[in-house]
Amino acid sequence: MHAEDALLGRGRYGVPVRAIRRFSVRPVLPEQLTGLGTLVNNLRWAWHPETQDVFEAVDPQLWRSTGGDPVKLLGEVPAARLDELANDQAFLRRLELAVADLNGYVTDDRWFQTDAGSPVSSVAYFSPEFGITHVLPQYSGGLGILAGDHLKAASDLAVPLIGVGLLYRHGYFAQSLNREGWQQERYPLVDPDGLPISLLRDGDATATVTLTLPGNRQLHAQIWVAQVGRVPLLMLDSDMEENEPAEREVTDRLYGGTTEHRLLQELLLGVGGVRAVREFCRITGHPAPEVFHTNEGHAGFLGIERIRELAADQGLDFDTALEVARGGTVFTTHTPVPAGIDRFPVELIQQHFSPDAFGEGVPIDRILELGAEDFEGGDLGVFNMAIMGLRLAQRANGVSKLHGVVSRGMFSGLWPSFDATDVPITSITNGVHAPTWVAREIHDLTYAATDTADADGIFEGLDKTTDAQIWETKRILRQRFIDDTRARVRQSWLNRGASEAELGWVDSILDPDVLTMGFARRVPSYKRLTLMLRDPERLKSLLLHPQRPVQIVIAGKAHPHDEGGKKLIQEMVRFADDPEVRHRIVFVPDYDIKLAQPMYPGCDVWLNNPLRPYEACGTSGMKAALNGALNLSIRDGWWDEWYDDEFGWAIPSAEGIEDTDRRDDLEAHALYDLIEKQVAPRFYDGDVPGRWIEMLRHTIKELGPKVLATRMVRDYVERLYVPSALSSRSLNATYDGARDLAAWKKKVRAAWPQIRVDHVELQGLGDVPQLGTNVGIRAFAALGDLKPQDIDVEVLHGRVDSNDEIKDPVRASLSLAETYEGNRHRYEGELKLDRTGPFGYTVRVVPKHAGLASQAELGLAAGPSDPEDPSTPDLPAGSEF
């Protein structure tokens, strides 16, 4: 560049000349190449290697330099090259086949039609973030990646899903480090015109939704559509000239801003999202959703908007509209800690849902009830989004079996009459989208050719490969990951202020023949990034072992406001900066999809050491396992559920020790011992370690089918979406069912204080209860103003602990035997003494209605009337014999 050009480029006084507006100009493709536009505009290319091969053939060097971004590729490819391709018959044929394959993928019947029988017309899936591809940076971590995998798997199965989220103009932050190893955040501008998305158009106009805010302000949002295979993803964007500056910034960045800013984002996602779905279905003819699924509490306001719709359009009262909305709503909770839940000041909710802002027909006091922490230990001054999500959804779930247990305990205050085991929150364990995360070499080695990655026999190819082939493939992937890591570490040091001249050592960091461990995730304190540093000298001895060295690659972001998380990163970076070990342990900044995709296949062991039970699921280990890595983890989340010593190693947990320092010390030393005495010796057992590869085979073949996102989505369809759709239909048909259910609930709640169990007796117990004995049970219940068909009388029995609590109770309904004056009734049944040792039982009355998804739905149960009175023969909960 000439000196005068440089001066002109920087403007007067050396100040850069900056554009007042930035936009991307897309090329006009020759008619013969219009298929490229078709491929680009469907994000299936993100998990379809054959389509990526077509893009690479356009210009291999440019494909690499653009980071595998087809929009950038077509924007930068020279016109001469496009003309050349337009006359290249071999390329045109290849393009034609790729387009035909895509068309078949999006139109052919698949599992949902052939096996499930198309039981649901449509599902709307709401999430604050979606991780589809690095090209569309609208995610921060596991929640978004899970949401992206959910959409992809739904597409592979042809489940009629509509994704709903926001388009953040700055996405989540890009991470770098300063010289001291402190996390730096940068928010690059995301230009929608440079993304594989398009605006939803209504004829010649842009489709929009509008929310009224306090003070007669308006929040307008346009709707971008990303086509994720067969699934449309709607993303609302407030960056419109029609908005005032403050409202224009609502969708500026993910998880940023003030409390009110976050509230506005969640209002736009929930309320605006429902309106966007209505617009999309009206314009495109897509079937209207029968089921609304909210992925965490951020989108919970969708239920209030649906109530408002029903009140305004159908004239329904609040209680009837609530039943209609609840019947077709699914809520998934992802957090195992109350601190992870969004809670807003009640005053803010009152302002934004006042009649002037939200409209008439939805009383503000009823809205506040939905998010009220009106249980023991709750804060009445806040509005809890997860609590609202649970109250607005008839069906709810956690994301692993252990997380289901934790969630039932954490939210048990909403059902105070029930034991935590009865809390109506089930669990569906997360899964991962294999075509996105499995390296092509692993796929070719082990998997049958299939889009869905879940067919019978998918892993049979592994039986046809030799140990040597598997080992060589893993080495190739290790080398590729190391090459990528070296480039990233070099760039990180340059960003930290180093010069090229002092970075020669980076070329020799890591070794493709050394046991490689990966640790990559968000950096909240409970994930314990620095547990491995509890004894730095012990860790050094593992890294520098003369015969069995270990190398560790670490990545992860701390939330911009989490100073504690940033300190953990700095501590790790400072250790990794030590010249003695920096060739064996590295921290790689800016963990995202692009970094993760070579990392999972390039690792031999995936490390995870959270504080149990605070890991809701933790899907990174699943992705590593599908690529032939063994897990080394605390038994938390999914690993607690599916642990097998052939899949890896379980780090012993010191759960229950209150001294956190002592707990960390114990678990860290258990980790060191496992690596030194079991993991490393097995990896280095011969040139081709047969026992290691045996475990690798077992992991892929036996664990692989369990961790697939297609398994997860099938579970959602069969266990939650179909029952929700059936409820939705029964309540929506004429609304009479919803009116009857609302009236019945009101009647039951009013009458419940009169319900009691007066007397319980056993028959045939004998002086010495013996195993296998059938014992008759009789219970006398007073039903007040209710009828026998309104309730169920059940016996709960099983083993009792030292506190007389029944563990894993067996439930059985008693039959109505006789009716007496005063609406009193005798119920009878039988229980079998099917176990030895302390045994107990109790009897309770619970509401019963065909419209309930769970007997605990109303939170009402009545037990023996006076269990402490020794003059009464009935036995209390945990009665032992």
Residue 832: pLDDT band with limits 50, 70, 90: confident
On the question of pLDDT at 456 being above 80, the answer is no
pLDDT of residue 651: 98
Tens digit of each residue's pLDDT (9 = 90 or more) over 853-867: 999 999 999 999 654
Of 132, 29, 137, the C-alpha closest to 73 is 29
Tell me if 610 sits within 8 A of 618, measured CB to CB: yes
**Mean pLDDT over residues 762-791, rounded?**
88
Tens digit of each residue's pLDDT (9 = 90 or more) over 357-392: 888 779 999 999 999 999 999 999 999 999 999 999
Tell me if 653 sits within 8 A of 666, measured CB to CB: no
Q: Which residues contact 278 (CB under 8 A, 6 or more apart)?
A: 288
**Burial (Cβ within 10 Å: 0-12, 13-18, ≥19) of residue 561:** exposed
Alpha carbon distance 817, 780 (integer Å): 10
Residue 835: pLDDT band with limits 50, 70, 90: confident
On the question of pLDDT at 534 being above 80, the answer is yes
pLDDT of residue 23: 60
On the question of pLDDT at 488 being above 90, the answer is yes
Of 808, 809, 804, the C-alpha closest to 794 is 809
Structure tokens at 266: 């969640």
Which range has the top average pLDDT, 448-457, 496-505, 793-802?
496-505
pLDDT of residue 7: 44
**Mean pLDDT over residues 640-667, rounded?**
95
pLDDT of residue 494: 97
Q: Left if phi > 0, otherwise alpha if psi is -120 to 50, otherwise beta: which for 497?
A: left
Tell me if 271 sits within 8 A of 201, measured CB to CB: no
Tell me if 297 sits within 8 A of 333, measured CB to CB: yes
Antiparallel, parallel or unpaired: β 343-345 and 174-177: unpaired
On the question of pLDDT at 271 being above 90, the answer is yes
pLDDT of residue 282: 98
Alpha carbon distance 244, 714 (integer Å): 44
- The DSSP secondary structure of 195-242, one letter per residue, reads SS-EE-EETTEEPEEEEEEGGGEEEEEEEEEEEETTEEEEEEE---TT
Cβ count near 690 (within 10 Å): 12
**Mean pLDDT over residues 508-534, rounded?**
96
Q: Distance of CA 382 to CAs 374, 385, 391, 722, Å?
A: 10, 10, 16, 34
Instruction: Please state, rounded to an integer, the average pLDDT across all residues of the chain.
Output: 92
Residue 19: pLDDT band with limits 50, 70, 90: low
Residue 845: pLDDT band with limits 50, 70, 90: very high
Angle between helices 318-327 and 301-314 (to 10 degrees): 130
pLDDT of residue 4: 46
Q: Distance of CA 252 to CAs 157, 238, 248, 559, Å?
A: 34, 8, 8, 16
Q: Which residues contact 828 (CB under 8 A, 6 or more apart)?
A: 776, 777, 778, 779, 814, 815, 817
Helix (H, G, I), strand (E, B), or coil: what is residue 174?
A: strand
Tell me if 522 sits within 8 A of 566, measured CB to CB: no
Residue 90: pLDDT band with limits 50, 70, 90: very high
Tens digit of each residue's pLDDT (9 = 90 or more) over 578-609: 999 999 999 999 999 999 999 999 999 999 99
Alpha carbon distance 204, 681 (integer Å): 67
**Mean pLDDT over residues 452-462, rounded?**
61
- The DSSP secondary structure of 341-371, one letter per residue, reads S-EEEHHHHHHHTSHHHH-SSS-HHHHHHHT
Tens digit of each residue's pLDDT (9 = 90 or more) over 198-257: 999 999 999 999 999 999 899 999 999 999 999 999 999 999 999 999 999 999 999 988
**Mean pLDDT over residues 17-23, rounded?**
64
pLDDT of residue 879: 35
All structural domains of the chain = 3-107 (no CATH), 111-430+717-732 (3.40.50.2000), 458-706 (3.40.50.2000), 752-880 (2.60.40)
pLDDT of residue 802: 83
Whether the CA torsion 624, 629, 632, 638 is positive or negative: it is positive
Tell me if 881 sits within 8 A of 841, measured CB to CB: no
In this structure, the dihedral spanned by the alpha carbons of residues 685, 689, 692 and 694, taken in order and rounded to 10 degrees, is -140
Q: Name beta bridge partners: 213.
A: 217
Of 466, 802, 438, the C-alpha closest to 625 is 438
Q: Left if phi > 0, otherwise alpha if psi is -120 to 50, otherwise beta: which for 628?
A: left
Rg of the chain (C-alpha set): 30
Tens digit of each residue's pLDDT (9 = 90 or more) over 778-788: 999 999 999 99
pLDDT of residue 448: 55
Angle between helices 660-674 and 536-543 (to 10 degrees): 20
pLDDT of residue 25: 64
Q: Name beta bridge partners: 880.
A: 840
**Mean pLDDT over residues 141-145, rounded?**
94
pLDDT of residue 389: 97
Tell me if 618 sits within 8 A of 142, measured CB to CB: yes
Tens digit of each residue's pLDDT (9 = 90 or more) over 300-321: 999 999 999 999 999 999 999 9
Angle between helices 89-107 and 79-86 (to 10 degrees): 80
Tell me if 269 sits within 8 A of 236, measured CB to CB: yes
Residue 875: pLDDT band with limits 50, 70, 90: very low
Residue 449: pLDDT band with limits 50, 70, 90: very low
Single-letter amino acid, residue 227: Q
Proportion of the chain above pLDDT 90, given as a percent? 85
pLDDT of residue 360: 78
pLDDT of residue 466: 94
**Mean pLDDT over residues 394-402, rounded?**
98
pLDDT of residue 610: 95
Question: Could you tell me what percentage of the chain is helix, strand and coil, using 3-state DSSP and rounding each to the nearest 5?
Answer: 45, 20, 35
On the question of pLDDT at 525 being above 80, the answer is yes
On the question of pLDDT at 765 being above 90, the answer is no
